[in-house]
Structure 1
Amino acid sequence: MARLLRYGAYGYTLFIAVICLIPLPHIQEAPEHSDKMVHVVTYVIFTLLWFAFFYFLRPNSDYFKVSLIKSCSFAIIYGIVIEALQAALTRSRSADFNDFLANLAGISGALLVILVFRNQFSKLKSKF
């Protein structure tokens, strides 16, 4: 389980960096601002993966709040870094405050999921 969480969190983090920093063609048929939904979903998954990584790999059962703070903080910082790198390193991408807001919406969605399913996370952790 630990190895799977580690590979999942690290791999997904790298995947986001690669996808956000490589040049992508402009899609004419895409609805305006549809990329914001991609940001939301991406950061829901990102935050959930890092929460699981922090929470399930600590033996202390009272690590819920710390894991929540770490995962949300890391997701916010990572989103800012990716936007800054897009502005600094790429020609086809630019930093967009609306992308950052969509990232925050995704982090907030993950936070809501984690809080709603807190008891299930605790039960699952007790099995490890």
Structure 2
Amino acid sequence: MLNNIKNLLKDKVTIIAILTTIGIAIISLIKLGKAPIQINNIDKVEHALAYFILTFVWLVALRRTKISKLLIVFCCFLYGIIIEALQVTITSYRSGEILDVIANTTGILIAFIIYNSFFKKNKAI
């Protein structure tokens, strides 16, 4: 088990995936100030982008393992739901929204589609 963890951490992409996961949690749970320019629903684009990056990096990091791509996608989806639930339960300044989960899911699905289309064309990578 410890050797498996060491092997995962040797790969820099795995470290980037772990840091991305931690970064999304931190940004999602800290109190952020108001943006100087207000654009309606820009946060949904930010959610989709964050979860696109999260999913794509994990898919790349674990591409040489036997872990199913669908399991990775499901874990990213579940992670998004957990973060939304934590926003409601452990913070008083953040709110969990179903539209955020939909935006997260959109980013996850786009990452999955792009990953599959890119790595099917470039099997040598």
Structure 2-normalised TM-score? 0.85
* 2:19 equivalent in structure 1: 11
Residue-by-residue CA offset, 1:27-56 (whole Å, 9 max, x unaligned): 252211001101111111100111112213
| Cα shift at 1:68 | 1.4
Residue equivalent to 1:98: 99
Counterpart in 2 of 1:117? Answer: 118
CA contact (8 A) 1:51 1:67 kept: no
| 2:5 equivalent in structure 1 | none
5+ residue gaps, structure 1: none
Ranges of 4+ aligned residues in structure 1 off by more than 4 Å = none
**Identical amino acids, percent of aligned pairs:** 29
Equivalences, count: 117
Which of 34, 38, 45 is residue 53 of structure 2 equivalent to?
A: 45
Q: 1:53-100 deviations in whole A, cap 9, x for unaligned?
A: 2213x2xxxx4xx53112201110000000000000111101111000
Query: For residues 59-74 of structure 1, what are the structure 2 equivalents within 5 Å?
Result: 63=66, 66-74=67-75
Question: 2:29 aligns to what?
Answer: 21
Unaligned runs of 5+ in 2: 1-8
Change (3 A) 1:67 1:122: farther
